[in-house]
Amino acid sequence: MASRREQAGLPTRSEMLPLVLELLRSMPMPVHRLEIGEAVVERLELTPEQVAVTEPGSRGRSFVSWQSEYACNDLKWIGVCEQPGKALYQLTELGRTISDEEVAQRHRERGRRYRKRQQERKVLGAAISDSGGVDDDDVQPWEDELLDRLMSASPKAFEHLAGALLRAAGFDDVEVTGRGGDGGIDGIGTYRPSGLISFHTAFQCKRYKGSVGSSTVRDFRGSFIGRSDRGIIITTGSFTRDARDEAARPGANPVDLVDGEALCQLLKEHSLGVRTMQRVVEDITIDDAYFDQFEDSR
């Protein structure tokens, strides 16, 4: 049975790549993802009915909008474009000269690597089921893998991730500032636990492998006093005991601390870049006594 995409005559994800690359080359940089989707609609001369086709599992987003953004992300992963800000894309030097053939080749190679990793994970899962477990040296905990991924992100990308996390956690009016002269404030937001009160909150991001000390907490608090009610420091590392004591110092504006372990759990809880798949494992044994009863039958 044909999919909704096929029924509507819309391009495949692979067909979208060269089209989006061609459009990016003709548009002033950087380009917002919504502008790219609109350009695709215009170039393909799609009807309102085609534009209204939704992508399964996308909470009602149109196929064209969803797949245009996917194409931009695919181009980003193969080095053709980059993200200077949230939902913004621009070409790299490679993206201005690379051929459609090489784009397709790089995309296929990335797909092969992805499928290979998936297969390796399946094999590893089978090994865990068969042996009852594996040595710690045989598998990297997902938290470590996630923290490595966050450490490889740009400072700006990490700040926007923090903003997305605050929005998912219920903050309103979240704005990522991250500009010099802000005294270490990377963004602001408002938390309303009820309809009666609200807390203006500043946040700071620290991509550290080590520990954040008390001076960082103290300096951050000084930067938001008079501008926010409280602050949050989000790090990929940890906090020293003195930092935690300073954050909770009586009489001072409170500063909440989110270390790497807590950050991983929050991203998992809100499904931000972390997908959780539940597995059902069957332990099957043979009941010899059941079969033995038939041996005595005549």
pLDDT (average), residues 154-159: 91
The radius of gyration of the chain's CA atoms, rounded to the nearest angstrom, is 25
Q: Mean pLDDT check: name the lowest of 108-122, 141-155, 188-202, 267-281.
A: 108-122
List pLDDT tens digits, range 78-129. 888 888 876 788 898 888 999 988 988 888 887 777 677 666 656 655 544 4
Mean pLDDT score across all residues of the chain: 82
Residue 60 has pLDDT above 70, yes or no: no
Residue 187 has pLDDT above 60, yes or no: yes
Task: Give the C-alpha separation, 74 to 107, whole Å.
Answer: 7
Q: Mean pLDDT check: name the lowest of 5-9, 18-22, 236-240, 250-254.
A: 5-9
Structural domains in the chain? 4-98 (1.10.10), 101-139 (no CATH), 151-269 (3.40.1350.10)
**Residue 26's pLDDT band (cuts 50, 70, 90):** very high
Residue 146 has pLDDT above 80, yes or no: yes
Task: Give the C-alpha separation, 57 to 132, whole Å.
Answer: 34
**Residue 21's pLDDT band (cuts 50, 70, 90):** very high
Task: Give the C-alpha separation, 18 to 62, whole Å.
Answer: 20
**Residue 160's pLDDT band (cuts 50, 70, 90):** very high
| pLDDT at residue 233, rounded to an integer | 95
More confident residue, 175 or 180: 175
**Residue 230's pLDDT band (cuts 50, 70, 90):** very high
Task: Give the C-alpha separation, 248 to 221, whole Å.
Answer: 11
Residue 138 has pLDDT above 60, yes or no: no
Rounded alpha-carbon distances, angstroms, from residue 63 to 13, 84, 185: 10, 24, 37
**In this prediction, what percent of the chain has a pLDDT beyond 70?**
83
More confident residue, 135 or 68: 68
In sign, the C-alpha dihedral spanning 245, 248, 249, 255 is positive
| pLDDT at residue 140, rounded to an integer | 46
| pLDDT at residue 129, rounded to an integer | 46
pLDDT (average), residues 172-184: 75
Confidence (pTM): 0.51
**In this prediction, what percent of the chain has a pLDDT beyond 90?**
26
